[in-house]
Amino acid sequence: MRCPFIDYSPEIYDVAELGEISGIGFSHRVIRIHETEYLVPGEDAIKAIVDRFLPGAKPMGRGCESVHYRLGDKLLTIRRLVPKGVYEEPLLRILGRIGISPKPLGRYLVESGNYGNFEVAVLTEYLPGERLDTVIDGLVSSEEWGKVSMLLNSALDTLMEADSILMEMRRIAISDPEYLVDDWRNRLLVRAYQLEGLGIRGAPQLLRDLHDALRRKRLPTAMKHYGFLHGDIHLGQYIRMGKQLFLTDYMGEPYREPIPRRDVEEILRDVASLLNSFEYILRRHRPRRMGNAYEIMDRLVESVYAQLYRDIDKSLYMASLLFWRVERAAYEALYEELLGTGISWIPLRIISDKGRELLELL
């Protein structure tokens, strides 16, 4: 997996500082990325954390931001890129206790006088289940739509339960909701600029057109349920064990900048992200009875409306959900392009389809 964020490609981020930092019983080299509050531990720091916190653990995979080690029924997740102010372990204390997420067993902080404390590693129970995206991928391949519908409904219920708890834990007062909405809309301009810089054509102009139309209509709105949410929800963030679903990884999106990692959002963004994640599977398989899949998605959309937004005008709800599907897809397109996955055409297609649908609705 290519990780340009971690590899410090100069066209994306500038390296500001390389130096030594002491903390949690050892010293290690870090890189601070220009004009952010990020810390990047060196490989020596990762080895020291493993040796001290879970000796004998074996690596079981790594991503752009973290590397995972397992020993028996324990999982150690070490951050390769550590944002200040994002603490996963306190969230897991509550979510793990009520059976939504894995239970935390401990954490490590890097202590820095100038930059504050960074949660650099989290130890949790290991969940020996299946990733939900893999399960649903197999069901879509065999067109077992009843089982797909059941699992997606469970995923949606788990997501809304987790998000409602996160909002209560991290709720902040919003003095100017219109300013908040301006920030949401302006993300379309940020992503248009970034995608255009990567050579993408078509989608950037549609994002700009949407921004202008939404600004004239003063949409979307901070309708009802907003606060700090999961931030990077997709079907791969779920683990299925028997009939129980667990949500993992509350760090947020790897390429979220310049949007703050823990920004305030409407709960519909996570719902839109879940719908987009299912669409990824559909676009790859192109099942013969695609209509069955979209009926499932329509029922999910209706379920959210009935549970959370039934006292709000339906067209406002639909416009806001379409906005968030496009906004998330713009991020996903950037992510796929930067990683060179070859599937950026999926979120770009979502931008095209849902963006034009939103323009017609406006």
Question: Which domains, and CATH codes, for the chain?
Answer: 4-125 (no CATH), 130-361 (3.90.1200.10)
Which pLDDT score is estimated for 1?
56
pTM over 0.95: no
Q: How confident is the model at residue 32 (pLDDT cuts 50, 70, 90)?
A: confident
Which pLDDT score is estimated for 14?
62
Which pLDDT score is estimated for 169?
79
Which pLDDT score is estimated for 351?
98
Which pLDDT score is estimated for 7?
61
The residue type found at 3 is C
Report phi then psi at 274, rounded to 5.
-65, -45
Which pLDDT score is estimated for 82?
82
Task: Output 130-133 pairs: Cβ under 8 A, ≥24 positions apart.
Answer: 130/239, 130/240, 131/235, 131/236, 131/238, 131/239, 131/240, 132/235, 132/236, 132/238, 132/239, 132/240, 132/245, 133/234, 133/235, 133/236, 133/238, 133/277, 133/281
Residue bearing the bigger pLDDT, 217 or 170: 217
DSSP H or E segment with residue 280? helix 268-285
Task: Output 279-286 pairs: Cβ under 8 A, ≥24 positions apart.
Answer: 279/346, 279/350, 280/234, 280/343, 280/346, 281/133, 281/136, 281/137, 281/140, 281/235, 282/140, 283/346, 283/349, 284/137, 284/343, 284/346, 285/137, 285/140, 285/141
DSSP H or E segment with residue 192? helix 177-197
Residue pair 41/22 in contact (Cβ under 8 Å)? The answer is no
The predicted model gives 220-243 an average pLDDT of: 90
pLDDT tens-place string over residues 34-75: 656 677 887 888 888 899 889 999 999 888 788 999 999 999
Report phi then psi at 226, rounded to 5.
-135, 155
The predicted model gives 312-328 an average pLDDT of: 96
Which pLDDT score is estimated for 26?
64
Residue 302 has pLDDT above 70, yes or no: yes
202: exposed, middle or buried (C-beta count within 10 Å: 0-12, 13-18, 19+)?
exposed
Which pLDDT score is estimated for 15?
62
Residue bearing the bigger pLDDT, 176 or 326: 326
Report the C-alpha gap between 215 and 225 in whole angstroms. Answer: 21
The runs of H, that is alpha helices, within 20-144 are 43-53, 88-97, 132-141
Which pLDDT score is estimated for 213?
96
pLDDT tens-place string over residues 150-183: 999 999 999 999 999 988 876 666 667 788 899 9
pLDDT tens-place string over residues 340-359: 999 999 999 999 999 999 99
Q: How confident is the model at residue 276 (pLDDT cuts 50, 70, 90)?
A: very high
Which pLDDT score is estimated for 264?
86
Report phi then psi at 285, rounded to 5.
-90, -35
The residue type found at 215 is R
Q: How confident is the model at residue 255 (pLDDT cuts 50, 70, 90)?
A: confident
Which pLDDT score is estimated for 271?
97
Report phi then psi at 199, rounded to 5.
90, 10
